[in-house]
């Protein structure tokens, strides 16, 4: 069973070795992960809301069809293979002081922690989980959290029951586990793409989200972040980028009240154009009861140079007698 990355690795090597492979994936698995797994000839079965629910069917199929079960995180060989990441990171950057590693079932973090700390015992290892699925935090530190919906941008690490073997390993090797929020993961995906030109899925971006969550903890330290996957739908990625531009103030959604007479919209767009605002989208709202019968609301999406530029446009529109409200606030605190 797999949310996508283990599935693709298994399918790839099974294809090369001429071995049939079956993967059970949660119903919420992004289509790109399903397609990439099927591309290598795997039989993909969608079942269960979470990876834990997919696991039950996977074990049933393995028993019924006499198949070898390859666990995505509670398997010593899988853990050892993932540990090579830690070796490579220290080979590339021996001066690393801290590693930030995503945790779902815990196999990835356990393998890297074992290998990296064997090479450099002073290295500090921090795991990162997503809220609502912080199962390793609960298992190791008995931390409770409010259970939320089953959907998360980090579906690759949405595991409710961590591996037994990873628990035993990480109990001795982790400094701590950082639990990040959905909006921090979204921001991290956006930052990876716009600042580093790296396409990262939600589960792969939680390391950066952990850094942003408690930046003081890592200040002036040499930090390595494990980016554990890049399987994300183009439409989702574009939506994250648009929301990122809105969050940072480069896109603004303005609602402007205008007289419902010819020329009103032209006046507004002319003001925005004079201030070098780029209009992305315009929607009229006439038939809503809260709008006076001879008035109309227009929602205008404007691309600007930032918050100050947006505010200049708003001031100019209001100075011309129009009422303006900003539907999207700029940068988050």
pLDDT tens profile 155-209: 889 888 999 999 999 999 999 999 999 999 999 999 999 999 999 999 999 999 9
The DSSP-derived string for 137-161 is HHHHH--------S--TTGGG--SS
Domain boundaries along the sequence of the chain:
5-65, 76-243, 248-326
pLDDT of residue 247: 84
User: End-to-end alpha-carbon separation of the chain, Å?
Assistant: 39
The dihedrals phi and psi of 308, each to the nearest 5 degrees, come to -65, -40
Looking at residue 203, the DSSP 8-state letter turns out to be G
The CATH superfamily holding the domain 248-326 is ACT domain (3.30.70.260)
pLDDT of residue 332: 38
Helices (H), the chain: 5-17, 31-38, 51-65, 76-92, 107-119, 135-141, 164-173, 182-196, 206-213, 215-218, 234-247, 264-274, 307-319
Which residues pair with residue 22 across a beta bridge? 43
Is the Cβ–Cβ distance between 101 and 127 less than 8 Å?
A: yes
For the record, the structure tokens of 118 come out as 């064997």
The DSSP-derived string for 222-271 is -EEE--------HHHHHHHHHHHHHHTTSEEEEEEEEESSTTHHHHHHHH
For the record, the structure tokens of 309 come out as 């530029």
Does the fold of domain 76-243 match that of domain 5-65?
Answer: yes
Q: Cβ contacts of residue 82 below 8 Å, gap of 6+?
A: 107, 108, 110, 111, 112
Name the average pLDDT for the chain: 91
pLDDT of residue 49: 85
User: Which tens digits make up the pLDDT trace of 206-243?
Assistant: 999 999 999 999 999 999 999 999 989 999 999 999 88
pLDDT of residue 333: 34
Opening angle at CA 252, ends 250 and 257, nearest 5: 155
What percentage of residues in the chain have a pLDDT greater than 90? Answer: 76
Q: Which fold has domain 76-243?
A: Rossmann fold (3.40.50)
Q: How many CB atoms lie within 10 A of CB 316?
A: 16
Q: How many CB atoms lie within 10 A of CB 276?
A: 12
For residue 283, the surrounding DSSP H or E stretch is: strand 278-285
> In which residue ranges of the chain is pLDDT below 50?
329-333
pLDDT of residue 245: 86
- Assign domain 5-65 to a CATH class: alpha beta
The dihedrals phi and psi of 169, each to the nearest 5 degrees, come to -70, -50
Q: Cβ contacts of residue 120 below 8 Å, gap of 6+?
A: 90, 94, 96
pLDDT of residue 114: 97
pLDDT of residue 291: 56
125/53 Cα distance (integer angstroms)? 30
């Amino acid at each position: 069973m797999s949310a996508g990355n283990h599935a693709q690795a298994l399918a790839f090597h099974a294809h090369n070795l001429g071995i049939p492979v079956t993967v059970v994936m949660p119903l919420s698995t992004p289509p790109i992960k399903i397609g990439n797994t099927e591309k290598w000839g795997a039989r993909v079965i969608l079942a269960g809301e979470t990876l834990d629910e997919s696991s039950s069917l996977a074990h049933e199929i393995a028993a019924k069809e006499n198949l070898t079960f390859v666990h995505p995180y509670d398997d010593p060989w899988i853990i050892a293979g993932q540990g090579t990441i830690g070796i490579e990171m220290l080979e590339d950057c021996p001066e690393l002081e801290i590693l930030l590693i995503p945790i779902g079932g815990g196999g990835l973090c356990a393998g890297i922690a074992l290998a990296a700390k064997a090479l450099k015992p002073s290295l500090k290892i921090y795991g990162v989980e997503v809220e609502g699925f912080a199962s390793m935090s609960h298992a190791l530190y008995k931390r409770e959290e409010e259970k939320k919906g089953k959907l998360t941008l980090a579906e690759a690490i949405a595991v409710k029951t961590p591996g037994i073997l990873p628990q035993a390993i990480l109990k001795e090797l982790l400094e701590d586990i950082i639990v990040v929020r959905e909006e921090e993961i979204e921001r991290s995906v956006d930052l990876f793409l716009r600042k580093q030109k790296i396409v990262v899925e939600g589960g792969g971006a939680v390391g950066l989200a952990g850094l942003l969550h408690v930046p003081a903890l890592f200040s002036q330290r040499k930090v390595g972040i494990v980016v554990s996957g890049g399987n994300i739908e183009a439409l989702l990625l574009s939506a994250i980028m648009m929301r990122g531009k809105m969050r940072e103030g480069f896109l603004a959604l303005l609602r402007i009240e205008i007289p419902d007479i010819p020329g009103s919209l032209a006046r507004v767009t002319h003001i925005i154009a004079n201030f070098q605002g780029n209009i992305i989208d315009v929607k009229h709202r006439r038939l809503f009861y809260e709008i006076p019968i001879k008035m109309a609301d227009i929602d205008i999406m404007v691309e600007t140079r930032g918050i100050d530029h947006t505010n200049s446009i708003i001031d100019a529109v209001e100075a011309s007698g129009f009422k303006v409200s900003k539907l999207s606030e700029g940068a988050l605190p």
